[in-house]
Structure 1
Amino acid sequence: MKRKLVSLARCLTALCCLLGTAASYGQFDPSTKLPVDPEVKIGKLSNGLTYYIRKNAKPEKKVQLRLVVNAGSVLEDADQLGLAHMMEHMNFNGSAHFPKNELVSYLQSIGVQFGADLNAYTSFDETVYILPIPTDDPVKIEKGFTILEDWAAHASLDTAEINKERGVVLEESRMRKGATERMGKKYFPVLFNGSLYSERLPIGKDSIIQHFKPEALERFYKTWYRPDLMAVVVVGDIDPALAEQQIHAHFDQLQNPPGELQRPSIIPIADRVNNTAMVLTDKEQTANILQVYNYIEKAEPITTWGDYRKSVTEGLFNALVNQRLSELSQQPDAPFILGATMFYGLIRGYRSFVSFAMLGDKPAKGALDALITTTESVKKFGFLATELERAKKNLLAQAEQAFNNSDKMESGRLVLEYVAHFLSGAPIVGSVNRYAFLKKTLAGIKLEEVNALAGKTESSQGKFALLMANEKSKPALPDDPQLVEWTLAAHKLPVKAYEEKAVVKKLFDKLPTPGRITNTTTNTALGTTDLTLSNGITVTLKPTEFKNDEIHMDGWRWGGSHKYSLADKQTTSNFSSIIRLMGVKDISAIDLRKLLAGRTLNVTPYLNEDDEGIEGTCNAKELELFFQLVHLYFTSPRKDTAVFKSFVTSQKSMMANMLANPNLYYADTINKITYAGNPWAPKFPTPADFDNISLDRMMDIYKNIFSNGYGMHFTFVGNIDMDKLKPLLETYLASLPASPMTNSFKDVGLRPVKGIINTTVKRGTAKKSQVNVIFTGEGKYSKDEALKLRMLTEALNIKIIEKLREDMSGVYYGTMSGSLINRPYNHYRVETSFPCGPENVTKLTAALFDIIKDAQDKGIEEKDLNKVKETLKKQYDDQITTSNNWWLLHLSRSWIEQDDPAWILQYKTKVDAVTSADLKEGAKKYLNMKNYIHVVLNPEN
């Protein structure tokens, strides 16, 4: 069950989803109220419950249901801190129609997986329940709406179940403890200026979770879970009339409580009067992070096309200033690893202008100066017209792609828009209206309007500057008053105008001499075409109609980093990251981004341990440009010493304190234990490791790989036009240099230790532990056997949750995963992991081993095996009919693993054929109780 947090990551994601507008409105008059997407029906019951219904056929035979409750932790009373979240948990632990844990068991039986599918989250302002349901059976649909009704009004709130769930919620709270939580408790009261948001964190207080009376939970439920604060959202492959009928049948009779409390539309946050700063340190903090909040003000609602236009203008401003900061971060003497500054929604009803930087071990003052002077430069000199035009092109391209794929949008994405509309009034104009609006009006947003927004980055409020750092950095850090002084002084520093050289207009001056397609075969069953090119490169094409404007590509062959010496390990480990940053030909990565503005494509070369290749995505319109970029990555790599030095400096800075995090240190230690310190084993890099990267050697390795394309196999999946694609294959792939060679990977002899290893790692100050049990060994690879291993671990996951979480209340989650691998040698790895209290490590580990022994002695219960089968088959039905990336992964892996790609067509039959006896045999084979590693992370004290 996920919990939404206030974070800059949310607003960075939002930058990718800007809504666009312009000045010449036509039918988009600025005073006209925004339309609602005509594909969705919005209604309201007499009791005030709102509903949203949209028919959507992707994926087929599945509907996404949501119960949205406009109530979260900010509405709790003083004796209820954490009970909004507790209520979310209790809705999975007994209701009128599903006593105790029968809800989860029933949903698993119809292929709905707990956690991955069935989920919920509680935030400050809302609680949202997530329920995808198959629509291939009217009974399943009926029960789906019954579950929503039970969540809304019929939770059992049995005292015994409440007492059991206390432990689970406390384990979730324990899991979150650490540097971030400790510092958050200190700065939240300052950030939110003493408002309820600083006191009502969704996770609550452990002492209240331990001791609250059931009546306090029932009071929250009866007060805030009521129809006028709820919405039911239905999006998927379902008859809208049936959906509406079900909503009326299940929710018409619900009533609001007498004397109901008014739900505040906005929780007051007082204006900040004085400039304030906090400098916080913690010995487990991995990254030094700087944030400056210029103000927190009420956000204006977006209800008209004029409001819409204002929001997109702000979005353009954000994109432009952040592009400048991105370029700054790539300089050899960059003041920060990552920087961003923007207008964004801080919390419901409020927005802020905030600047953010990840410092690594770079000086805080230099980063602060760079962030603020970048904005001050815009105030004084503005943006360039060329910058704005590129931003508009990118925005329009995003909207066009959404429009082109509007009839192929997955229900899971659409449902998010309707949830946001109910909770905060977010626009849902739909992709058709959005694209039409952008096409007609985007050009009317003038440079002067975007530049003018720089004046709105500040207000009469005081600023809040926050610096969070590892305590080792403390001697170089300012105190609180000094950070305030630095922040104010940065606004007075001299600034200079941004300069831009001429941007390259095209990738090729002269096209390569084409090769030929020399052989063509088809596979009717798979719907694929296999081609051989004149230079020996082979290609598989899989046309699909899952998206109207999406093509995925992967090209690879045997090889990989283990072919090279141990001395090259750091060079090959950072290969892909550095190559991507340097651009191609004589075009830097920054200039390449400018050249590709408004184009939807990306290409990335890569180097794994046992294979090497290149991957990417594009839309149909940009297919030739995509091929040109692929060709240049093979034939014209670019060496950029300045970018390389910037990368090394930034990575060393970023890694300086990473192992201060107990979990990262623990993971690194597990690898050392598993491989007995073998230098080929994966390890977390230290700053010193980056001194062992050689740019010259990297370029030699790159040319060694990509100067000869022989043996490369390319797979293309998507809305492929074969007649247009084949000439491009001949021009850009068949023309690549390729001469016969042996492509092979190398087994460097990396093997796990054998026997039983029990080790305890002591790290961290929070009272929490982590348990990992790892089984490894040699095992013959086949797709059938890999499927059985997956089904075994999925079945045991059901038992782990039932026993360790539900029965023992000892964990928030526990998970087992396994893989069967055939390169560089046939072997398997199965790992179980769970966090818990130190006092519970021994008994929970014993319970895990009991589960394993039971599977080995008795096999898997048929009811659990059937749950796994149903889940895998439902997932398969979704993926095979909707996902280009799923097909790409399957087809390309089948080629490189040299097995039959048509196996996937028998997948459901293969799943049904697996028996409890098969899994019993697998449990004995892959969970060898005489050969495992048991590692425990305990706190230092």
Structure 2
Amino acid sequence: MAEFERAAQFGFTASELEVVKKQSEAANEKANREKDKIASNIFVQAYLKNFMYGAPIVSPDFRYDITKKFLNEITVEEVNATVKKMLGKENLSIVVQAPEKEKASLPTTDQLLAAIRDAGKGLKPYEDNKVNKPLLDKKPLAGKVTNTEKIESIGVTKLTLSNGVVIYLKPTDFKNDQILFTSYAQGGVSLAEDKDFMAVNYAGNIPGDGIGDFDNPSLRRLLAGTTASASSYLNELYQGFGGSASPKDLETALQLVYAYATNPRKDPVVFKKNIEEYGIYLQNADDSPENVFNDTVTAVLTSNHLREKKPTMAELNNISLDRSFEFYKNRFADASGQTFVFVGNFDVAAITPLLETYLGGLPANNKAEKFVDRGVRPRSGKNERIVKKGIEDKASVKMFFYNSYNYAPENNIQLSALSDILEFKVLERLREKEGGVYSPNVGVGFEKYPYGNYSLSVSFSCAPANVDKLVNAVLDEIEKIKKTGATADDITKFKAEYRRSLELNMRENNFWLSYLSGKFKNGEDPTSVLNTEERLKQVTEASVKAAADTYLSNANYFKAALVPEK
């Protein structure tokens, strides 16, 4: 409320308005460059709104021109005059939500009204603490391309840089104004010993604190008017970067990559705030039935491994910003293991100098680090957990089948077929025959690292009294597939949907980014997508039966249910 009052009393600054204008202008220009690539569903939605609500249908050119015109005309005086009208206190609602156990300590109505009334006392105008310096003090010392290879069949070029960075480039014409990229290198948080894991557990949050002297508001101001977006990430097995940009802003995005690697920001104020907020969450987490249920599921699927548990309050207080920051810097001190994938509208030769400068200039010491398998595994055998929590007259059920797995394209497609066909069967049985659930879902996941594994899950909501009946119905459908396999119609439907989905995906930059990075990360043949039809031919009624026998054997089976306390 103090910030509302500050805006009402003193208004916004011209520089604040300028930042918002630049952001809007950049979005308007980007939309205009993509006007010949607008998806059909955008037109459909416009026609629907016109028919149903009388909303005008405007052409991309008209929208671009009128947006540009109005943005130019808006003044800070207009904005501030509008703010004073909008931020009045005549129509104001205050809603306070808190755990039942805190009821006695909540503020009274008079206290809340007093807080609103006094929020504007002693305020000063907003100070725009702009950092007047460039993102990078100087350009990095550029590396060089030492090797070039082509993967002609999928239109990919591989560059190896002098510092060991590997780059895969796939130019496309799917979008006029889009370049996407991602990268990975082995290591991640897995390189922290279990005993040190909690102390460095903030390391993955460091990118969210900003870059060097730039906190997040300063960074937003600096980037206003560009489409460049990039950041670093740090997870259990990998560290790397991701981002996007219009072709004209690719250099800015690459500068962000270099800055996140070489000049991260350590912000004690943000750290303290984040830890305090997470501490409040922890204190009340067990009041939520869904939280307790999800924690229970996680405990079984990870054998209650300390790396997968929520920290206790004592452990939270032991998290060290200094140690997390040093761990982060260490993880990005060696770029020699980084593999980048770029997809979008670019010319390989034209962007190569930028790649040599900002990626070839990343520090490297050729440590050749690998991630460490810390032994996180699900509990073996048959497990069951019934969580009695909450008062809502509804049950949530999750069933899991899991085991070790030989990760390979030919096995993956069989497992995907089994999952989709089982969903056909479960949906028909539970929704149409049993009439007991709204939206059953069957999902499957498989990984190659840190060890080959798969997990097939069935989840649904229902009345508490129907849990056992519907679980048995799911198990019955599974047994039918194991005995007789799929029907010819099931196979035809799966193949048709798989082909159509792939056909659409192969015209999307996001698909190719995910597909290529996944293939390279797993050491697989990146051209395997071209052989999809051959693998689909191997999906038969008999192969689905064999997959069900293998992957739904009940050797490792976990049933979890969340039901009301009474």
Q: Shorter-chain TM-score category?
A: over 0.9
Correspondence for 1:726: 352
Distance 1:704 1:927, change over 3 A: same
Correspondence for 2:154: 526
Kindly provide the amino acid, as one letter, of the partner of residue 916 in structure 1: E
SS where residue 660 of structure 1 aligns? coil
Question: Deviation of residue 688 (structure 1)?
Answer: 4.7
Correspondence for 2:461: 835
CA distance in 1, matches of 2:39, 2:314: 45
Contact kept, 8 Å, 2:303 with 2:376, in 1: the verdict is: no
SS where residue 508 of structure 1 aligns? coil
Aligned partner (choices 178, 184, 205) of residue 550 of structure 1: 178
Kindly provide the amino acid, as one letter, of the partner of residue 657 in structure 1: N
Moved more, 827-836 or 477-486: 477-486
Distance 1:797 1:685, change over 3 A: farther
CA distance in 2, matches of 1:378, 1:460: 14
Distance 1:419 1:580, change over 3 A: farther
* CA-to-aligned-CA distance 1:83-137 (integer Å, 9 cap, x gap): xxxxxxxxxxxxxxxxxxxxxxxxxxxxxxxxxxxxxxxxxxxxxxxxxxxxxxx
Correspondence for 1:417: 46
Distance 1:813 1:689, change over 3 A: farther
Distance 1:589 1:400, change over 3 A: same
* CA-to-aligned-CA distance 1:881-914 (integer Å, 9 cap, x gap): 1x11110001111111000010012224422431
Kindly provide the amino acid, as one letter, of the partner of residue 612 in structure 1: Q
Correspondence for 1:656: 283
Distance 1:909 1:410, change over 3 A: farther
Question: Deviation of residue 725 (structure 1)?
Answer: 0.7
Aligned partner (choices 273, 294, 307) of residue 667 of structure 1: 294
Correspondence for 2:545: 920
Report % sequence identity. 36
Correspondence for 1:504: 132
SS where residue 535 of structure 1 aligns? coil
* CA-to-aligned-CA distance 1:438-494 (integer Å, 9 cap, x gap): 33442221110000012221569543322222222212213445544544x246634
Question: Deviation of residue 685 (structure 1)?
Answer: 5.0
Are residue 464 (structure 1) and residue 90 (structure 2) matched?
Answer: no
Contact kept, 8 Å, 2:200 with 2:321, in 1: the verdict is: no
Are residue 597 (structure 1) and residue 185 (structure 2) matched?
Answer: no
Are residue 566 (structure 1) and residue 194 (structure 2) matched?
Answer: yes
CA distance in 1, matches of 2:85, 2:435: 51
Question: Deviation of residue 400 (structure 1)?
Answer: 1.1
Correspondence for 2:334: 708
The 5 Å alignment of 1:665-704 reads 665-680=292-307, 682-684=308-310, 687-704=313-330
Question: Deviation of residue 674 (structure 1)?
Answer: 3.0
* CA-to-aligned-CA distance 1:173-228 (integer Å, 9 cap, x gap): xxxxxxxxxxxxxxxxxxxxxxxxxxxxxxxxxxxxxxxxxxxxxxxxxxxxxxxx
The 5 Å alignment of 1:237-276 reads none
CA distance in 2, matches of 1:492, 1:739: 55
CA distance in 2, matches of 1:654, 1:400: 41
Distance 1:560 1:490, change over 3 A: same
Contact kept, 8 Å, 2:176 with 2:345, in 1: the verdict is: yes
The 5 Å alignment of 1:139-288 reads none
The 5 Å alignment of 1:365-404 reads 372-404=1-33
Distance 1:453 1:404, change over 3 A: same
Contact kept, 8 Å, 1:558 with 1:896, in 2: the verdict is: no
Question: Deviation of residue 575 (structure 1)?
Answer: 2.9
CA distance in 1, matches of 2:360, 2:455: 39
Question: Deviation of residue 422 (structure 1)?
Answer: 3.4
CA distance in 2, matches of 1:459, 1:533: 59
Distance 1:532 1:825, change over 3 A: same
Correspondence for 1:214: none
Contact kept, 8 Å, 2:165 with 2:336, in 1: the verdict is: yes
CA distance in 1, matches of 2:556, 2:166: 42
Correspondence for 1:910: 535
TM-score (norm 2): 0.95
Are residue 717 (structure 1) and residue 343 (structure 2) matched?
Answer: yes
Correspondence for 2:521: 896
Contact kept, 8 Å, 1:786 with 1:819, in 2: the verdict is: no
Correspondence for 1:407: 36
CA distance in 1, matches of 2:139, 2:243: 21
Moved more, 837-846 or 753-762: 753-762
Correspondence for 1:450: 79
Aligned-CA RMSD value = 1.9
Contact kept, 8 Å, 2:201 with 2:324, in 1: the verdict is: no
SS where residue 121 of structure 2 aligns? coil
Kindly provide the amino acid, as one letter, of the partner of residue 651 in structure 1: Y
CA distance in 1, matches of 2:200, 2:61: 45
Distance 1:664 1:411, change over 3 A: farther
CA distance in 1, matches of 2:51, 2:407: 50
Correspondence for 1:59: none
Distance 1:787 1:744, change over 3 A: same
Distance 1:777 1:444, change over 3 A: same
Distance 1:741 1:482, change over 3 A: closer
Distance 1:426 1:569, change over 3 A: farther
Correspondence for 2:123: 495
Contact kept, 8 Å, 2:147 with 2:160, in 1: the verdict is: yes
Moved more, 458-467 or 776-785: 458-467
* CA-to-aligned-CA distance 1:486-522 (integer Å, 9 cap, x gap): 44x2466342210112333421232122111111111
CA distance in 2, matches of 1:731, 1:460: 54
CA distance in 1, matches of 2:260, 2:236: 20
CA distance in 2, matches of 1:897, 1:662: 37
Correspondence for 1:639: 266
Greater relative contact order (CA < 8 Å, ≥ 6 in sequence)? 2
Contact kept, 8 Å, 1:375 with 1:454, in 2: the verdict is: no
Correspondence for 1:886: 511
SS where residue 270 of structure 2 aligns? helix
Contact kept, 8 Å, 1:651 with 1:687, in 2: the verdict is: no
SS where residue 286 of structure 2 aligns? helix
Distance 1:425 1:652, change over 3 A: farther
Corresponding pairs, count: 566
Larger-gyration structure (1/2): 1
Correspondence for 1:434: 63
Distance 1:678 1:509, change over 3 A: closer
Correspondence for 2:370: 744
Correspondence for 2:240: 613
Contact kept, 8 Å, 1:653 with 1:687, in 2: the verdict is: no
Kindly provide the amino acid, as one letter, of the partner of residue 914 in structure 1: V
Distance 1:533 1:867, change over 3 A: same
Distance 1:642 1:894, change over 3 A: same
Correspondence for 1:933: 558
* CA-to-aligned-CA distance 1:139-197 (integer Å, 9 cap, x gap): xxxxxxxxxxxxxxxxxxxxxxxxxxxxxxxxxxxxxxxxxxxxxxxxxxxxxxxxxxx
Question: Deviation of residue 841 (structure 1)?
Answer: 0.8
Correspondence for 1:797: 423
Question: Deviation of residue 415 (structure 1)?
Answer: 2.8
TM-score (norm 1): 0.58
Question: Deviation of residue 761 (structure 1)?
Answer: 1.4
Correspondence for 1:100: none
CA distance in 2, matches of 1:528, 1:458: 54
Contact kept, 8 Å, 2:414 with 2:544, in 1: the verdict is: yes
